[in-house]
Amino acid sequence: MARDDKKGKKDDSCRREPIIKLVDVWKVYRMGEVEVPALRGLTLEIFPCEFVAIMGPSGSGKSTSMNMVGCLDVPTKGYIYLDGADIAQMDESNLAQIRGRKIGFVFQQFNLIQSLSAHENVMMPMMFQGIPTYERDAKAKRLLELVGLGQRMYHKPTELSGGEQQRVAIARALANDPPVILADEPTGNLDSKRGEEIMALLTKLHEEEDKTIIMVTHDSKLSKYADRIIYISDGKVVEGGN
């Protein structure tokens, strides 16, 4: 199928309402008597099937914005909508459930459980969603095959290279088939060759699986993979928010 035909099919299959929307989001941390604002009225929209890079210098608010987009924290004030639901008003129990269903996380440090095999690490998120054991087993195997680790699925993280561990993390992020993959500095602990392999895999998920990819990075070389770049400075969007 021609690339234009694929793009047309993707446009047809992806809704054009934002899957994530932040409106005038503030996050203020209190340190003793001092208030430190990390976000200062952050407003942005991310649409289904986009590949978005969130970029900015150290201290710009990238990490805090990632926590907001990923439902890992709630704002001091403002609104955050995930697939139309206002998550800013949810308690932690509901946040955990919506995170499990809607968002897959890929972290710079991999965050794998060292005592578990790759296969067991990928099964873990499905357990929290109440998926039966036989389904967890079969899907974990399928996902590890997808990321090229079919021959390594019973190895523990200490027996895998950095690139292989990040592939396990991506397979784990896909476990509950979330529409959104949030990748925080996904190549930060990898050499350039392994980093390119991971970016190729994320691009494949974006182009062939219609995943919405949100990548938080300070590495300008990774911006070429994104459909759109959102620049953040001093806790607010300065370019590319919508």
Residue 83 lies in a domain: no
What does the pLDDT look like over 180-235, one tens digit per residue?
A: 999 999 999 899 999 999 999 999 999 999 999 999 998 889 989 999 999 999 99
Q: Give 8's pLDDT tier (boundaries 50, 70, 90).
A: very low
Q: Give 9's pLDDT tier (boundaries 50, 70, 90).
A: very low
Average pLDDT of the chain, as a whole number? 89
Residue 145 lies in a domain: yes
Range of the domain at 138: 47-62+101-239
Residue 39 lies in a domain: no
Residue 75 lies in a domain: no
The arithmetic mean of pLDDT across residues 160-172, rounded, is: 95
Residue 198 lies in a domain: yes
What does the pLDDT look like over 22-57, one tens digit per residue?
A: 999 999 999 888 999 999 999 999 999 999 999 998
pLDDT at 15 over 60: yes
Query: DSSP string spanning the chain?
Result: --HHHHHHHHHHHS-SS-SEEEEEEEEEEEETTEEEEEEEEEEEEE-TT-EEEEE--TTSSHHHHHHHHTTSS--SEEEEEETTEEGGG--HHHHHHHHHHHEEEE-TT----TTS-HHHHHHHHHHHTT--HHHHHHHHHHHHHHTT-TTTTTS-GGGS-HHHHHHHHHHHHTTT--SEEEEESTTTTS-HHHHHHHHHHHHHHHHHH--EEEEE-S-GGGGGG-SEEEEEETTEEEE---
State what percent of residues in the chain have pLDDT above 70.
93
Residue 56 lies in a domain: yes
Predicted local confidence at residue 98, as pLDDT: 84
Residue 234 lies in a domain: yes
Work out how many domains the chain is built from and give that number: 1
Predicted local confidence at residue 72, as pLDDT: 86
Predicted local confidence at residue 92, as pLDDT: 82
The CATH number of the domain where 142 resides is what?
3.40.50.300
Residue 144 lies in a domain: yes
